Structure 1
Amino acid sequence: MEKNEFFLKRIRELANLSYQRDIVTFSDFLNLNEQNMVSSLKQQFPQVVMETFGGYVNAERQMVAFHPDALAFTWEYPIDCLKIEPKAIKFSENLSYRDYMGALLNLGVDRSVIGDIIVQEKAAWFFCQSKMTEFFLENLCRVRHTNILITKVNDPEEFPHPNLESINGTCASVRLDSLIALAFKASRSSMVSYIESGQVFVNGKLITSNGYEPKEGDIVSVRGKGRFIFDGVSHQTKKGRYGVRILLYV
């Protein structure tokens, strides 16, 4: 509880500073639970706009920007994208998300300065606070036993696109528990505990109701399982079941 109270105190300080000095302030990269806590504070600061972004569309870890409602100048999030690739593909290992994350954290940095990490074959991209870019460029030289090259990606067109697996199925109703069960190939009853224990988020908002009905385009995240986009209802069967589409992040 003390950790959460300290976090909320820091968020209030950032919101107040933005309003008092008429400037834009930024949080660290926040996980889904932290984003949900920030969202719960919005009504306390009606004069301050709170926006989130993680470096690319639909990022899970996001930074919150605080700025006065009538801000008159343009601004950008202090986020950079860095690409990691092996120096010699022939001698490189098959590296996982955990390998890349471990290499970054072994540099002694806090998880909050790093956003999402997107791993694809023989390469990975990660988002970080701009103030940390030079540090990573100078100090990250190996992931496990693989010597790597790390470069800053300046063109947004070259940013990575997460791999999505299309899943089609039917369910009796378009409820949150049914969609999660379909996405992760589990029984609906086994997914109830995830929802009731506060491990499920829709668009970064904590949802604890099994009967909640996501809308088309919503991003559903389940701690320890993964996340997916609810891509909508395609049809209704003769027995009254709904054909749904899900795009699972893989």
Structure 2
Amino acid sequence: MTKEEQLLQNRLIELSEWAYSRNIAVYSDFLGLNEQNILHSTPKGLFASSYTLIGGYDNPERQMARFSPDALYYEEISPPLQVLAITPVNKRFAEDLSHRDYLGSLMNLGVVREKFGDIVITETVTYIFVTREIAAFICEKLSKVRHTSVKCQVLDTADIHYEPRTQEISGSVKSVRLDAVLATAFPLSRSKLTPLIEGGLVYVNGKLITSNGYSLKDGDIISVRGHGRLKYLGSQGTSKKGKQIIQVLKYI
């Protein structure tokens, strides 16, 4: 573990202790996949209180850790999470903006990465999930993304109704191994998937997995750096040749 990773682990343990000692729910900043892996890999006995993850919608990639005491009654506060709804001022002259364009505009404002979560681009609006403390600042300062003039509105997560676009894919595999399921979802051979897995680019439910033969469970969320995400839905039976027929939900 690097010095930076150790500092993050210590910080997460400290947040869990605050939740326990103060009898309140305590939240971290947004955690990427590497940070979530540190969280999940930390022995549970080091945390004084339990945790869950939130990111503003179903199955986000970047998430906050919410530490809460195990007592039946404790002080609950609203999650420090809001959503920015970004739309072009004039749709006629709007560019086709990418995730990188929005990311660059936020960085140019001096906003550090841990203060905002997923950037979700739809046909009509872009949602950016942010910590409550910087929501108003970004909306005040963000007037352009690349060359497109934009307007911004601060919303609570309950005010949006976003469902990711998905594609359901079926396939047959000898066993529910990680590499076999990934080969069903992505147009890559097993030989090309192996370096991705062994190279530390594949996460299951936020935990780094480096074994090709890792056995998946129904509902597991798999993230492959540079290729996308999918949800393993489970086995639907066996084929005449004795293979398992599986279904996955690919986020597109």
1:137 is the counterpart of 2:131? no
Residue in 2 aligned with 1:193? 195
Q: Distance in 2 between matches of 1:113 and 1:160?
A: 21
Pick the aligned partner of 2:85 from 66, 83, 86: 83
Residue in 1 aligned with 2:76? 74
Q: Which amino acid aligns with 2:231?
A: I
Q: Report the identity percentage.
A: 41
Q: Which amino acid aligns with 1:16?
A: E
Deviations 1:36-70 (A, max 9, x none): 21122252335411111111121111101122211
Q: How many residues align?
A: 250
Q: Which stretches in structure 2 are left out of the alignment for 5+ residues?
A: none
Contact 1:95 1:122 in 2 (8 A): no
Offset at 1:129? 0.3
Q: Distance in 2 between matches of 1:47 and 1:118?
A: 34
Offset at 1:123? 2.3
Contact 1:89 1:122 in 2 (8 A): no
What secondary structure, in the 3-state scheme, does the structure 2 residue paired with 1:132 have? helix
1:52 is the counterpart of 2:53? yes
Q: Distance in 2 between matches of 1:60 and 1:141?
A: 26
Q: Which amino acid aligns with 1:116?
A: D
* Higher mean C-alpha deviation, range 21-30 or range 58-67: 21-30
Q: Which amino acid aligns with 1:8?
A: Q
Residue in 2 aligned with 1:247? 249
Deviations 1:141-163 (A, max 9, x none): 11111111111234625232211
Contact 1:81 1:127 in 2 (8 A): yes
TM-score (norm 1): 0.93
Contact 2:56 2:157 in 1 (8 A): no
* Higher mean C-alpha deviation, range 136-145 or range 230-239: 230-239
Superposed, 1:101-180 pairs within 5 Å as: 101-154=103-156, 156=158, 158-180=160-182
What secondary structure, in the 3-state scheme, does the structure 2 residue paired with 1:244 have? strand
1:61 is the counterpart of 2:59? no
Deviations 1:70-129 (A, max 9, x none): 142333321001111111111111111111111111111100001111111242111000
Residue in 2 aligned with 1:40? 41
1:94 is the counterpart of 2:96? yes
Q: Distance in 2 between matches of 1:162 and 1:153?
A: 18
Q: Which amino acid aligns with 2:27?
A: F
Residue in 1 aligned with 2:18? 17
What secondary structure, in the 3-state scheme, does the structure 2 residue paired with 1:192 have? helix
Contact 1:153 1:159 in 2 (8 A): no
Q: Which amino acid aligns with 1:90?
A: R
Contact 2:33 2:203 in 1 (8 A): yes
Contact 2:118 2:129 in 1 (8 A): yes
Offset at 1:185? 0.9
Residue in 2 aligned with 1:183? 185
Pairwise CA RMSD:
1.7
Q: Which stretches in structure 1 are left out of the alignment for 5+ residues?
A: none
Contact 2:57 2:157 in 1 (8 A): no
Q: Distance in 1 between matches of 2:176 and 2:157?
A: 39
Runs (4+) of structure 1 exceeding 4 A deviation are none
* Higher mean C-alpha deviation, range 157-166 or range 76-85: 157-166
Q: Distance in 2 between matches of 1:2 and 1:14?
A: 18
